[in-house]
């Protein structure tokens, strides 16, 4: 069965420090990869996505992610975080077959940015 | 572009009543809408997939008679929680899909059943 693993459930970090949120997926077929952010009591906002092409993807709010096919990873990075980046981050994989587009989510990583 | 709205944003109801949640794609037509449920501090769990004009496809373990889904048009899907009980309290999120790569999510509806 396909799965998405977010290795860290919580990541505390100080403001202006760099951060990496890890995501690995299981797949033997082509996939689309996404990172979503969820602020408290809100829905999901798309941060960035990898569909094809360049393996380094840049998203909103200064985040970027790198697709590594050999390691089946899609880690999210930001060189300098802000207090406002405190949120839950979800990695998701889409396996598109037929007419359905089912997303499989990781369990999420809670990023806490401390002053 | 690609805005999805949900209404209501939160609802409190008595046990035994039914609650309807609307999901609308505001600036695009959605081939498919998905309904997710999220428990506190957990990830999103897909409940059902809804295609316009056809019956929804439910994930294993989701009661189709309890969670009624209607996808009447390409911009509107509704989820009705029938005879709600306290264990149905959760955060319900919909997403809309145009048939391309990205799902666009609504802001969610928080349901509290007393």
Instruction: Give the mean model confidence (pLDDT) for residues A9-22.
Output: 97
Please determine, for residue B41, whether its predicted confidence score (pLDDT) is greater than 80.
no
Region A84-112 average pLDDT: 83
Query: CA of A70 to nearest chain B CA: how many angstroms apart?
Result: 22
Query: Does residue B20 register a pLDDT over 60?
Result: yes
Q: Which residues of B touch A100 (CB under 8 A)?
A: 32, 49
pLDDT at A96: 64
**More confident of the two residues A88 and A30:** A88
* Interface A:B, Cβ pairs < 8 A: 55
Task: Read off the pLDDT of residues A27-77 as tens digits, 9 standing for 90 and up.
Answer: 767 788 999 999 987 888 999 999 888 899 999 999 999 999 899 999 999
- As a whole number, the mean pLDDT across chain B is 90
Inform me whether the pLDDT recorded for B55 exceeds 90: no
Instruction: Report CA-CA distances (Å) from B71 to A13, B22, B76, B106.
Output: 43, 10, 6, 15
Smallest CA–CA distance from A5 into chain B, residue: B43
Question: How high is the pLDDT of residue B52?
Answer: 83
- In the structure, what pLDDT confidence band is assigned to residue A98 with cuts at 50, 70 and 90? very low
Is pLDDT at B25 greater than 80 in this prediction?
Answer: yes
Calculate how close chain A gets to B5, using CA atoms only, in Å: 10
By the 8 A CB rule, do B35 and B69 touch?
A: yes
Cβ-nearest to B105 among A43, A99, A106: A43
Strands (E), chain A: 3-5, 10-14, 19-21, 24-26, 32-38, 44-50, 56-58, 64-68, 73-78, 87-97, 100-105, 109-114
pLDDT given at position A6: 95
Top residue of A34, A43, A98, A102 to mutate, by most chain B CBs within 10 Å, is A43
């Amino acid at each position: 069965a396909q799965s998405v693993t977010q290795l860290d459930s919580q990541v505390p970090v100080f403001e202006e420090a760099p951060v990496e949120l890890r995501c690995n997926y299981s797949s033997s077929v082509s996939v689309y990869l996404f990172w979503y952010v969820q602020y408290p009591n809100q829905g999901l906002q798309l941060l960035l996505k990898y569909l094809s092409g360049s393996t380094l993807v840049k998203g909103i709010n200064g985040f970027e992610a790198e697709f590594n096919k050999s390691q089946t990873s899609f880690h999210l990075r930001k060189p300098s975080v802000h207090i406002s980046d405190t949120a839950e981050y979800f990695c998701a994989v889409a396996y598109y077959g037929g007419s359905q587009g089912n997303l499989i989510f990781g369990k999420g990583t809670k990023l806490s940015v401390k002053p | 572009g690609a805005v999805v709205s949900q209404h209501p944003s939160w609802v409190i109801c008595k046990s035994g009543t039914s609650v309807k949640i609307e999901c609308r794609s505001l600036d695009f037509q959605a081939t498919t809408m998905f309904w997710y449920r999220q428990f506190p501090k957990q990830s999103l769990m897909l409940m059902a997939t809804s295609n316009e004009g056809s019956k929804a496809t439910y994930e294993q373990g989701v009661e189709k008679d309890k969670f009624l889904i209607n996808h009447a048009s390409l911009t509107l899907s509704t989820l009705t929680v029938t005879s709600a009980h306290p264990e149905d309290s959760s955060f319900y999120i919909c997403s809309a899909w145009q048939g391309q790569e990205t799902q666009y999510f609504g802001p969610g509806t928080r349901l509290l059943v007393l």
